[in-house]
């Protein structure tokens, strides 16, 4: 697990794939700082697909966050095992979809279990 939003695990990454029309939206700082709830992803939402870089990518949902007073959900997702292959994104049904548990052949790298 990557962890929560702390000074050593910021809400954003230094390098992000270029967004194209129809892609996910990265969570804005306003929703990632201040009071709110954060929890591990439930098993039924552990595996998902997100629209990123103009294509659908399998991801592992690590955590969810709901900022106090907001109705916008943010998800911490990882699409590979590299140190920059993760992001906090906003949940939207058009760009984030649940997926069946992947086989080892199609799992995000390092996340087949």
pLDDT at 41: 86
Instruction: Compute the distance between CA of residue 13 and CA of residue 87 in angstroms, rounded to an integer.
Output: 7
Distances in Å between the Cα of 67 and the Cα atoms of 52, 53, 94 are 23, 26, 21
Residue 46, token pair as written in the block:
């552990």
Residue 20, token pair as written in the block:
């194209």
pTM confidence score: 0.74
Q: What is the pLDDT along the chain (113 residues), one digit of tens a residue?
A: 344 555 444 555 445 677 889 999 999 888 888 888 888 988 888 999 999 889 999 999 999 999 888 888 999 999 888 888 889 999 999 999 999 887 765 555 545 44
């Amino acid at each position: 697990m990557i962890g929560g939003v702390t000074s050593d695990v910021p809400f954003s990454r230094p390098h992000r794939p270029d967004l194209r029309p129809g892609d996910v939206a990265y969570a804005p700082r306003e929703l990632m700082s201040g009071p709110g709830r954060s929890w591990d992803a439930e098993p039924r939402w552990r595996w998902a697909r997100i629209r990123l870089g103009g294509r659908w990518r399998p991801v592992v949902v690590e955590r969810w966050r709901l900022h106090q007073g907001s109705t916008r959900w943010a998800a911490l997702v990882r699409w590979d095992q590299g140190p920059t292959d993760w992001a906090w994104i906003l949940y939207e049904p058009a760009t984030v979809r649940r997926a069946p548990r992947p086989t080892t052949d199609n799992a995000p790298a390092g996340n087949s279990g």
